[in-house]
Amino acid sequence: MAEERQKEIERSAEEIVESFVKAAEGLPSEREMYYSQEAYNVVRPDGKPSSSEERTEFRKRFIKIMPAKDEDGNLRVEVAKWVK
Amino acid sequence: MTKAKLDQLRSGELSPVENVRRALERISKLNPKINAFIEVNNDVVAQAEALERKLKRGKRAGKLAGLAIGIKSNINVNGLRATCASRTLEDYVAAYDAEVVKRVLAEDGIIIGVNNMDEFACGSSGETSAFGVTDNPAAPGRIPGGSSSGGGAAIAAGMCDLCLGTDTGGSIRNPASHCGVVGVKPTYGLVPRQGLIDLGMSLDQIGPIASDVYGAALLLEVIAGKNQNECVMLDVPKVSYADKLDGADIKGMKIGVSPQFSEITDSAVMDVIDKSIETLGDLGAEIVDVELPHIEEAMPAYYLIVSVEFFSATRKFDGRKYGKRIEDVCGDEVLRRILRGRYISQKEYRGKYYQRALQVRTIIRRELMAALEKVDVIVGPTVPKLPHKLGTKLTPMEMYAYDYLTIPANLAGICGGVVKAGKVNGIPVGLQVQGMVLGEEQVLRVMRAFEAVS
C-alpha cells in the first residue's frame, strides 16, 4: 500500500515537469535568476553574541523538545537507518 | 474597522483584556466548525493585563496596542507549537520568537494563537493540514484558500483583529480573495524571514491579513524593514504605510490591465473584476493595456523551483533532533514536492529542468518590470476560479491552477495586495493589485481608494 502510494505520487509529481518542458519549449535561453533582486545586504555585520543567560534558556527550551537525551542532558539520537 | 477598534482601545472605551476575551469567546464558539486556529495562547489574558498595567503607568502605547493577532503555524512564537500543520512537527514547541513576532510584541500586539494552514504551506485550498480542513466563513462548505487558510478564515469570521500569513506563490492573496478579506504579499526582501520555516527560500514572504486595508497597512509597517542578521534583505528605510491612507486618491494614476488575465480566468470571476476596473476608472485612474504574454508559463516554472527549494529545506526534518522524519508521516502533496525536488535536483537533470526554470523566471520578471515601467500598478483577478466545495477531488494540476495569477509576483519579487471586489453567487472574489519592487505605498493607495467606494 505504502509502495503503491509512493509510485502514484511519483507519477503525479512528474506531470508538472512534463508540462514545464512543453511550456518552455519555445522560450529563449536567458540568464538564470536565483533571487529576484540583486541589491541584497549580503554582508552581515558581526553582531553581539546573545548573553549566556539567553543561551542557557534557549538550551533548556530545546532540550524539552528533543526526542531523547542522556543523563547529562545531551541529545541522544538513533543511528541513521542508512548506516545500519 | 481596525482604526475604529484602535481608537476604542486608545481612548479606554475598550480595554485590551476585554478585546482579548471577546476574541477568545468567538474562537471558542466558531473554531470547532471553522478550524482556523490550531492552538490558542493560554497566556493571552495575562499578556493583556500586563499591557493594561503598562498603559495605566502612562507608558507609550505601541502601534498595535491591544489588538489580537493570529500567527501562521510556520512562524516561530516562543512557547507555542510551530507545527506547519504537519505530523512531522506536531510536538515541536518553538524555542524562540521569529523576528516578525518580536516586532509585533514590541508594538504591544497580543498573540492570540496559531493559525491552521496547508501542511508546510504546500497547498492552495486549506485541505492538506494534518489538523483537519478549514472551512470558509464567507462561503460555508467551500475551501477558504491556502496556504494561509486559518488566517484568512479567522479574519473573515472575526475571531481576531489581524493575522500574519506567508506567501510563496499566492498563499496570502488566495485565501484573502476566497474569504473576502484583505491580504498583502510584500516585496521580496522587505520583511524579515528569520524564524519562518521555509517552503521556498527565494520566494517566501511574511505578510498581513486583515479585515480592511488600514489594518493590513499598519501590520505591514510594523513588520517591514531591515534585520541586520539576515543577508537576503533589502536595506531600505522604515515607511509609514497606514498614515498615508486617509483620503487615498488615485486620480491620474496609470493602472495596467492585461488581456491575458481573461484568457485564463472564469467569465463570472472576470465580470466582477471588469466592474472593479471600471470603478477605478471612475475614480480618475487611467486604465492602460499591458502585455504579459508568458504569464501561463510562470506556473510550471514555479512548481519546479519551489520543489527544489522545498526538498532542500526539508532535509533537516530527519527526526533526529526534533520532530519526526518527514517522509514517514507527511501528506501526499508534501511528499509529491519532496520527490519532485529530489528528481529535479539530480545532477543529470539540473540543466534540463531547474536551470531552465530559473531562466523562465528571468523572462517573467523582465516582462512584469517592463509592464510596471509603463504603469503604477497592474490590477486583475487573484484566483482564476471560484473556491471548490470542501472534499471535492482535484488532480494536483487542477489544484496548482489556482495559483496561475499569483505566482508571477513571487517569481519577480514584486509586491501585491488583494481587496474584496464583489461576489459571484454569494462567494467572494478578490481584486489583485500588483506593484513594482517596494511599491507597497501605491498598491495600498489603490486598494484603499477602491475599498472606500465599494
Q: Does the pLDDT of residue B4 top 60, yes or no? A: yes
Rounded Cα distance, B211 and B420, in Å: 10
Name the residue in chain A with its Cα closest to that of B438: A37
Q: Enumerate the residues of chain B whose CB falls inside 8 A of the CB of residue A58.
A: 95-96
Catalytic annotation, residues of B: 72, 147, 171
Q: At what angle do helices A2-24 and B332-345 cross, to 10 degrees?
A: 60
Give tens-digit pLDDT for A28-61.
Answer: 998 888 887 776 766 677 778 889 999 999 888 9
Q: What is the DSSP string of B356-384?
A: HHHHHHHHHHHHHHHHHHH-SEEEEESSS
Query: A35 CB near a chain B CB, below 8 Å?
Result: yes
Kindly state the helix (H) or strand (E) to which residue B75 belongs, with its residue range: none
Number of domains in chain B: 1
- Provide mean pLDDT across the span B208-218: 98
Binary contact (A20, B304; C-beta < 8 A): yes
Q: Cβ neighbours of residue B62 under 8 Å, at least 6 residues apart?
A: B106, B107, B108, B109
Give tens-digit pLDDT for B61-88.
Answer: 999 999 999 999 999 999 999 999 999 9
Q: Does the pLDDT of residue A84 top 80, yes or no? A: no
CATH at residue B87: 3.90.1300.10
Q: Which residue in B379, B329, B369 sits closest to B120, CA to CA?
A: B329
Q: Cβ neighbours of residue B424 under 8 Å, at least 6 residues apart?
A: B268, B269, B271, B272, B386
Q: Does the pLDDT of residue A5 top 80, yes or no? A: yes
Q: Which residue in B66, B164, B60 sits closest to B110, CA to CA?
A: B66
Query: A2 CB near a chain B CB, below 8 Å?
Result: no
Coil, helix or strand for B196? strand
CA angle B304, B234, A30 (to 5 degrees): 40
- Provide mean pLDDT across the span B347-374: 92
Give tens-digit pLDDT for B16-49.
Answer: 999 999 999 999 999 999 999 999 999 999 999 9
Q: Enumerate the residues of chain B whose CB falls inside 8 A of the CB of residue A61.
A: 78, 93, 95-96
User: Among residues of chain B, what percentage have pLDDT more than 90?
Assistant: 93
Best mutation target, A17, A31, A60, to test chain B (most B CBs within 10 A):
A17
- For chain A, how many helices (H) and strands (E)? 2, 0
Q: Cβ neighbours of residue B454 under 8 Å, at least 6 residues apart?
A: B276, B279, B419, B420, B421, B422
Name the residue in chain B with its Cα closest to that of A18: B300
How far apart, in Å, do the first and last CA atoms of chain A sit? 25
Q: Enumerate the residues of chain A whose CB falls inside 8 A of the CB of residue B229.
A: 44, 47
Binary contact (A20, B320; C-beta < 8 A): no
Cell numbers standing for residue B361: 523566471
Q: Enumerate the residues of chain B whose CB falls inside 8 A of the CB of residue A80.
A: 318, 320
- Provide mean pLDDT across the span B371-380: 98
CA distances B240 to B110, B217, B224, B249, Å, are 21, 8, 10, 17
CA distances B399 to A12, B123, B382, B409, Å, are 12, 8, 15, 19
Q: Does the pLDDT of residue B11 top 60, yes or no? A: yes
Distance from A73 to chain B by nearest Cα, in Å? 13
Binary contact (A41, B231; C-beta < 8 A): yes
Coil, helix or strand for B39? strand
Q: How crowded is residue A71: how many other Cβ atoms within 10 Å of its Cβ?
A: 6
Q: How crowded is residue A43: how many other Cβ atoms within 10 Å of its Cβ?
A: 6
Q: Does the pLDDT of residue B149 top 70, yes or no? A: yes
Which one-letter DSSP state was computed for residue B1?
A: -
Q: Which long-range contacts (CB under 8 A, 24 or more apart) does B4-7 make?
A: B5/B67, B5/B161, B6/B65, B6/B66, B6/B67, B6/B218
Q: What is the pLDDT of residue A81?
A: 67
Give tens-digit pLDDT for B405-454.
Answer: 999 999 999 999 999 999 999 999 999 999 999 999 999 999 999 999 99
Domain ranges of chain A: 50-79
Nearest to B231 among A19, A40, A78 (CB): A40
Q: What is the pLDDT of residue B374?
A: 97
- Provide mean pLDDT across the span B208-233: 94
Name the residue in chain B with its Cα closest to that of A48: B229
Q: Kindly report whether the peptide bond that precedes residue B86 is cis, defined as omega within 30 degrees of 0.
A: no
| Average pLDDT for chain B | 96
Q: Which residue in B179, B162, B216, B262 sits closest to B429, CA to CA?
A: B179
Nearest to B397 among A15, A24, A32 (CB): A15
Query: A58 CB near a chain B CB, below 8 Å?
Result: yes
The CB-side HSE value for B440 (13 A sphere, CA atoms) comes to: 30
